[in-house]
Structure 1
């Protein structure tokens, strides 16, 4: 008989200086280089928020370099 795992933890959406997103358990300290984005909820809610806001997967530094090259 298979048992169903439930995840009742609260997560938060986190972002690093390169505008890359992830989720982190809300009760844990953030890893170095990451800050909270402001969204907390279930894993699914946080992943949905990331899908909504993280539409360009390129790191910010790469986007800026590419924009500078296009402007030159």
Structure 2
């Protein structure tokens, strides 16, 4: 891993289906994705996603199932 990639900052993002990902903090977000209030290193951001994204089904599927 290069020093640059080890220091790269990411932002946790979520789409309208409430699916999570990370995105480089210095890049414009792709359409349909919204920044959450979490930024940091890759491992830190992925750990946050692991804590908060407990139901991996898309929002519309959860709603259709009545949850």
| Residue-pair matches, total | 65
- CA distance in 2: counterparts of 1:59 and 1:15, whole angstroms: 11
Unmatched segments (≥5 aa) in structure 2: none
TM-score, normalization by structure 2: 0.91
Q: 1:19 Cα deviation (Å)?
A: 0.3
Unmatched segments (≥5 aa) in structure 1: none
SS in 2 for 1:28: coil
TM-score, normalization by structure 1: 0.85
For residue 41 of structure 1, what is the aligned residue in structure 2?
40
Q: 1:22 Cα deviation (Å)?
A: 0.1
Superposition RMSD in Å? 1.2
- CA distance in 2: counterparts of 1:20 and 1:13, whole angstroms: 11
- CA distance in 2: counterparts of 1:36 and 1:53, whole angstroms: 14
- CA distance in 2: counterparts of 1:58 and 1:44, whole angstroms: 23
